[in-house]
Structure 1
Amino acid sequence: MTLYGMVFSICFFLIVSFFFSTHTVDYANETETSEKIDVPLKKTVAKDVENKLKQDEERPELTAFYTKIEQILSDNAKSFNGDVGMTYVDLATGKQISIDGTKEFYSASTIKVPLAMMVADKVASGTLKWEDQLTYNEKEDYEDGTGIIINNIQPTYSVRTLQEYNITYSDNIAKNMLYDTFGGDVEAKKALYAHFLQKETEWDDAKLTSEDAAKILKILYEEKAKNQEYQTIYDYMKHTVFHERMDTPTTSGKVAHKIGSYAGFLHDIGILETEHPFILTVFTNGPTDAGISFISAVTDQLWTAQTNEYPKK
């Protein structure tokens, strides 16, 4: 055999061995296998972090404390003559405890908080400016109830002024004029529910649950450090003219909250500034004014527990 013939034979043998060997690598399967290996590894790391957080959250002393919190909420709910939904969130650990937390209630003025957050986001995006002047339209914007605009209606208001009035005075006309920047209340509520809660609502009867409200307040709390306008909303809530419900002699000056009232629907949603801050959202529907004192009582009991019994590390 010639030299070239020998070289050809050797090459042919190697090629055949490669393709028919039991150790041949299937690259399509290798890619799939690699993905299957990588994903569990990533999930394992994430799971480890999740387990660590869970362990921190559910230390024996914290577990006992959260049992106490749940008992306070449960006992108060049983004592209320009507419907009630409550949610507590420990902002140090993220632990959430609810009593009928998914029960829906007419939102009343609690919806003004996520509305203000959407307006702030709209300004941040550059599609609206705080100094923009909005024109009052009686047919679209007039509404009885809370607020100060109704006492001396002007032709125009700046977005900044309406934003402040919407929260500080719970001004209904300011709310409606801010709705106008989204194309009216229907479009505004549609955007609001989709953005913050990833759900839909009946636009003429906008409803919230205590867990919905807690989710919105958690976003406000967590982002206000890097979002000055969210901090401003928080400050408006802290300096509201409504010193009732969650604003008690015990919590005065240390709660950022927003009340909502419509017939028997009496609500309050707030962030309470104890050493270990917490969120509380309470929605009620009962006899006239019953929800007001009920919310104050629950607030003070939770404040006392959070202040005096929260476990030290």
Structure 2
Amino acid sequence: MKKRRLSLYSAIFLICFFLIISFFFSSHTVDYAKEANTKNSSTISSDSATTESQTESEENLAAFYKKVEVALTQAKTSFKGDVGLTYIDLTTGKEISINGDKDFYTASTIKVPLAMFIADKVNSGSLKWDMQIPYNEEEDYEEGTGLLIYDIQPSYSLKTLQEYNIVYSDNIAKNMLYDALGGDKKARTDLYARFFKKTPNLESTQITSKEAATVLEELYKKKATDKEYLTIYDYMKRTVFHERMDTPTTSGKVAHKIGSYNDFIHDIGIFETEYPFILTVYTKGENGIPFISQLTDQIWTIQSKDYPKENTKNP
């Protein structure tokens, strides 16, 4: 009996041992390992594809910016005189400048930051659009562009002066806006502190293409939430000066402000392509007007046809 009982226990032990060994070496265990390896492999493959796609996108964007830079460089080389050029891609914020830090007499391009400064004061409540600004012949009279010179009145509303300053590039309106800000010297000093963080040369106010582009970038970004800035942008689109950056190619799709004084010929604009951009051109020399138009059409064409659609971030 004792021997038979031990044999039965031995048989049961062997069966259990065999089942345990079979479980650990079964096909199920091997399948789980394969499944885990497959998942890890898929994740690595997906990450690799994403990285490659991002790298390709950045390379395409860099190649595009190189085209813009080459166009600006060649334009600068071809111009007979001094030139300052700045481009900003409003999708990525990428800036490209050629002589972007060179100073030029502002001419009427100063009227854009002036209008924005007036808008700031209205937004803060220190100025109101319906307030009347008195005309002071000694301080305000200036020949050149504008309508007020042909029908000078004792006073004008701030709103009228703001509109005429941009739409008609009215010099008298500009001077009267300075009056509303405390006079010519104070107004320009405060304006330069606000936008350029520096003190102006009050005898001959100067600006660079980079500084002008920064002003337009602020205008573009804030117009979505600031109705006064949006109005300035609309004034720039409605300007009566259909020249320079306003070409047959860009007509109706550019908000710009020209500036002219002797051989200083400028234009600064925001362009409404699928991927909007800013271009500021300051010149001193010969044939500034056709130069600005030709360069505008060239950059517009590059932006419209060559901009990489899959662009992500600024490389």
User: Which TM bucket (shorter chain)?
Assistant: 0.7 to 0.9
- Normalised by the length of structure 1, the TM-score is 0.81
Asked if residue 311 in structure 1 is aligned to residue 282 in structure 2, the reply is: no
Aligned-residue CA RMSD (Å)? 1.4
Q: Tell me if structure 2 keeps the 8 A contact 1:57–1:93.
A: no
Structure 1 runs of 4+ aligned residues shifted over 3 Å read 55-58
In structure 2, give the amino acid aligned to 1:99: I
Q: Tell me which moved more, 198-207 or 301-310.
A: 198-207
C-alpha separation between the residues in 2 aligned to 1:179 and 1:57? 51
Which residue of structure 1 lines up, in the alignment, with residue 96 of structure 2? 97
Q: Tell me if structure 2 keeps the 8 A contact 1:57–1:95.
A: no
Using a 3 Å threshold, how does the CA distance of structure 1 residues 56 and 298 change in structure 2: closer, same or farther? farther
Asked if residue 65 in structure 1 is aligned to residue 56 in structure 2, the reply is: no
Q: Tell me if structure 2 keeps the 8 A contact 1:265–1:283.
A: yes
- Normalised by the length of structure 2, the TM-score is 0.80
Q: Deviations over 1:167-208 (max 9, x none)?
A: 000000000000001111111111111111111120120000
In structure 1, give the amino acid aligned to 2:309: K
Specify every segment of 5 or more residues in structure 1 that has no aligned partner in the other structure, as ranges.
Answer: 1-54
C-alpha separation between the residues in 2 aligned to 1:173 and 1:259? 16
CA shift at 1:58, angstroms?
7.7
C-alpha separation between the residues in 2 aligned to 1:233 and 1:111? 13
**Identity level (%):** 64
Using a 3 Å threshold, how does the CA distance of structure 1 residues 58 and 179 change in structure 2: closer, same or farther? farther
Q: Tell me which moved more, 199-208 or 89-98.
A: 199-208
Using a 3 Å threshold, how does the CA distance of structure 1 residues 246 and 300 change in structure 2: closer, same or farther? same
Which residue of structure 1 lines up, in the alignment, with residue 145 of structure 2? 146
Using a 3 Å threshold, how does the CA distance of structure 1 residues 271 and 56 change in structure 2: closer, same or farther? farther
In structure 2, give the amino acid aligned to 1:162: L
Number of positions where the alignment pairs a residue of Structure 1 with one of Structure 2: 258
Q: Tell me which moved more, 55-64 or 129-138.
A: 55-64
Using a 3 Å threshold, how does the CA distance of structure 1 residues 148 and 98 change in structure 2: closer, same or farther? same
1:71-220 matched pairs, under 5 angstroms: 71-220=70-219
C-alpha separation between the residues in 2 aligned to 1:203 and 1:130? 27
Partner of 1:139, secondary structure, is: helix
Partner of 2:165, secondary structure, is: helix
CA shift at 1:56, angstroms?
8.7
C-alpha separation between the residues in 1 aligned to 2:159 and 2:55? 42
C-alpha separation between the residues in 2 aligned to 1:172 and 1:98? 29
In structure 2, give the amino acid aligned to 1:216: V
C-alpha separation between the residues in 1 aligned to 2:70 and 2:265? 22
Using a 3 Å threshold, how does the CA distance of structure 1 residues 72 and 142 change in structure 2: closer, same or farther? same
Which residue of structure 1 lines up, in the alignment, with residue 253 of structure 2? 254
